[in-house]
Amino acid sequence: MSFELSSRVCPGFAVVALAGELDAAGAQAAAAAIQAGIGSGRRVIVDLGALRFAACHALGALAVAANRARRAGGGVLLAAPQAAVLRVVELTGLAGVFCVYASVTAAAAAAAVGCGSLPCAAWRPATPACPGRAGRADASPR
């Protein structure tokens, strides 16, 4: 499987971009990048726009990283997942673990108001669960 990862730090959050196909080996690198992006209360946005495939066990590793981020006072938000990846997130039950946004821009706006610090247990495709999403046309869940 072909997998690429890049990251950058922005004021108040970090972006970890994943591309290609994410399997167990790639998940370890992605989880490590998420952990590295977490600062004191920092949010990490995982840009999935170029990710074509994600194995369910690989997404589980990202969920573990998200839980660690929350314990450290930060959070993890998913941005721009392709339909196939979003389907795996939903089928594995991980949609409630992550706040999912249509774009990195929408996730950044939500991160700025604290989204990502709690699991989105009430997440449903048509129902905003994070306070940062409510009433924001550009920050609606996918």
Please report the pLDDT score of residue 26 as a whole number: 92
* Number of domains making up the chain: 1
Q: Compute the Cα dihedral for 71, 72, 74, 79 and give only its sign.
A: negative
The percent of residues above 70 in pLDDT, for the chain, comes to: 80
| CA diameter of the chain | 40
14/141: higher pLDDT: 14
How large is the average pLDDT for residues 127-137? 41
CATH of the domain at 115: 3.30.750.24
Mind listing the pLDDT tens digit for each residue in 54-73? 999 899 888 988 888 888 88
What residues make up the domain containing 63? 3-139
51/126: higher pLDDT: 51
Please report the pLDDT score of residue 134 as a whole number: 40
